[in-house]
Amino acid sequence: MNEALYTVNNLWILIATVLVFIMHLGFATLEAGFVQKKNTVNILFKNCMIIAIGLITYCLIGFNLMYPGGDGGGFIGFAGFGLSLPEGAAGGIEYADGAYHYYSDFIFQAMFAATCATIVSGAVAERIKLMPFLVFTILFVMISYPITGMWKWGAGWLDAMGFYDFAGSTIVHSVGGWGALAGIILLGARKGKYTKKGIKPIPGHSIPLATLGVFLLWFGWFGFNGGSVLSADPSSVGLVFVTTSLAAAAGAIGAFFVSYWMFKSHDLSMVLNGILGGLVGITAGADVVSVTSALVIGLIAGSIIPLSVVFFDRYLKLDDPVGATSVHLVCGIWGTLAVGIFGIGEFSFITQLIGVASIGLFTFIFAFGVFYVLKVTVGIRVTEEEEVKGLDLAEHDMPAYPEFESQSSPYELAIK
C-alpha cells in the first residue's frame, strides 16, 4: 500500500470533516436569521446541543448501528457499543482498502449524523419545548438515522438492490425533512400564523444572518460532497466540486425566476433556499452525473422551492419557519430520483423510488411516534404566554439583543 497516498487521502477526509463541521455554523446562522429576534438564543442553543448530542450518541451506538459489518443485505445490525479501533494496520493503512484511518472514518460520518437533527430544529422553531426536542434529537440520531443509513451505506438491503445515494440527498437530507414534517404536524402552527383573514407572515429578524448561513453551508458542502468521494482522487473530487457548485448556482436561478413569476417581487429568502435546494438536489448523484445534468438538476430543485413553500404553507397549513421541508425533504426526494434519470451508469428509477419511499416511511413513523409519545407525556409545545414572550426569556432567561429586550414588535403587540 502506498503510504503517501494513504496520508493524502486521510488528510482530505479530515479537511472535509472540518468543512462539514462548518455547515453546523451555517445552519445555526441561517435558522437564527429566519426566526424572530425573541427566539434567537433558543435556536442557537439547540444547534450547539445538536452537534454535541450527535457526536456522543453516534460514538456510543450510532456508528456501529450504521456500519455493523458482515456480508450486508440486511435490515439491521449492531457491532457493539462505543468505538473499537481494529488492532495494528487493520485500523490504519489497511482500513477501508487504505483510503483513510478508522478514526477519520468515524469523525467524518459523525458530522453527517448530527445534520439530520439540525434540519428538524429549524422547522419546529419558535414553539417547541427545549427538553423534549433534545430527547427527540438523542433518539433520532442514535437510532433512526443509523438504521436507514445502514440500508445503503452500511451494505444493507437497499445497497444490495442497487439503490444509489452518493452523499445523502435521501439518507441525510430527506431523513431530516421527514422528521421535520412529523414535528410540525404534531406541534401545529405558530400563534397568529393562520387567521380567519388569511395567512399572516411572520418574518425572520435578520436576513443578513440567514444569507451568511447559506454561504457557510455552500462552503461546507464542498466537504459534504467532496469528502464523500472517500479519497483525494483528483478527477472524482474535481467533478464533484463542479457539479455541486453548478447545481447550487442553477438552484438560485430557478428560484429567482419562479418566485418572481409567482410573487412579482425579488424574494431573497426564496433565492437563498433555492441555492440550498440545488445543493440538496445534487448530493445524491454529484459523482455520477454530467455537468449539464447538474445544471438541470439544480435548476429544477430551485424552481421547486417557491412552489413547495406555497403548497405547505397555503394548502396544507403546515408552518415551517425556515422552509426545511421544501429544501431538504422535497429537493432531497427530487435529487435521489434524478439519479435514475440523469445518472451515468446502471441506475434504476424504480429502485431509487423504492429507496426514497422505504427510508421516508420508516423515518416518518419513527419521528412521529417519538414526538407523539413526548406530546402525550411531557408535552412538546410551550405555553401561549411563553410563545408570545419569546423562548429566549421563557427557556433561557437570556435575550439575544439586550438593548431591545424591553421593546415589543408590532406582531407581538397585535396578538397580546
Dihedral class, residue 119 (left if φ above 0, else alpha if ψ from -120 to 50, else beta): alpha
Mean pLDDT (whole number) for 168-183: 97
Residue 409 has pLDDT above 70, yes or no: no
Residue 186 has pLDDT above 50, yes or no: yes
> What's the pLDDT score for residue 99?
85
Q: pLDDT tens digits, residue range 43-76? A: 999 999 999 999 999 999 999 999 998 666 689 9
Count: domains in the chain: 1
Residue 382 has pLDDT above 70, yes or no: yes
Work out the pLDDT band at 87, boundaries 50, 70, 90.
Answer: confident
**Closest of 107, 123, 110, 108 to residue 46, by C-alpha:** 123
Residue 360's CATH number: 1.10.3430.10
Dihedral class, residue 282 (left if φ above 0, else alpha if ψ from -120 to 50, else beta): alpha
Residue 414 has pLDDT above 70, yes or no: no
Residue 88 has pLDDT above 90, yes or no: no
> Which amino acid type is present at position 387?
E
The residues facing 194 across adjacent strands are 199
Residue 415 has pLDDT above 90, yes or no: no
Work out the pLDDT band at 3, boundaries 50, 70, 90.
Answer: confident
Tell me how far apart the alpha carbons of residues 72 and 158 are, in angstroms, rounded to a whole number: 10
Residue 387 has pLDDT above 90, yes or no: yes
Annotate 289-301 with b (16+ C-beta within 10 A) or e (fewer): beeebbbbbbbbb
Tell me how far apart the alpha carbons of residues 222 and 321 are, in angstroms, rounded to a whole number: 26
> What's the pLDDT score for residue 411?
47
Dihedral class, residue 125 (left if φ above 0, else alpha if ψ from -120 to 50, else beta): beta
Q: Which one has a higher pLDDT value, 8 or 71? A: 8
Residue 377 half-sphere exposure toward CB, CA atoms < 13 A:
9
Mean pLDDT (whole number) for 178-202: 93
Tell me how far apart the alpha carbons of residues 138 and 53 are, in angstroms, rounded to a whole number: 6
Q: For residue 36, what are the domain limits?
A: 3-415
H/E element, 208: helix 207-226
- The pTM of this model reads 0.93
Q: What are the φ/ψ torsions at residue 348 (nearest 5 degrees)?
A: -110, 125
> Are 222 and 352 a contacting pair, CB within 8 Å?
no
> What's the pLDDT score for residue 89?
79
Q: What are the φ/ψ torsions at residue 288 (nearest 5 degrees)?
A: -130, 15
> What's the pLDDT score for residue 413?
47
> What's the pLDDT score for residue 1?
55
Q: Which three cell numbers stand for residue 82?
A: 462505543
Work out the pLDDT band at 408, boundaries 50, 70, 90.
Answer: low
Tell me how far apart the alpha carbons of residues 145 and 143 are, in angstroms, rounded to a whole number: 6
Mean pLDDT (whole number) for 169-194: 96
**Residues comprising the chain, all counted:** 416
Tell me how far apart the alpha carbons of residues 42 and 294 are, in angstroms, rounded to a whole number: 37
Mean pLDDT (whole number) for 131-147: 97
Please give the biggest Cα pair distance in the chain.
Answer: 69
Average pLDDT, rounded, for the chain = 93
Q: Which one has a higher pLDDT value, 48 or 94? A: 48
Three-class DSSP category at 136: helix
> What's the pLDDT score for residue 93?
87
Residue 406 has pLDDT above 60, yes or no: no
> What's the pLDDT score for residue 291?
97
> Are 393 and 41 a contacting pair, CB within 8 Å?
no
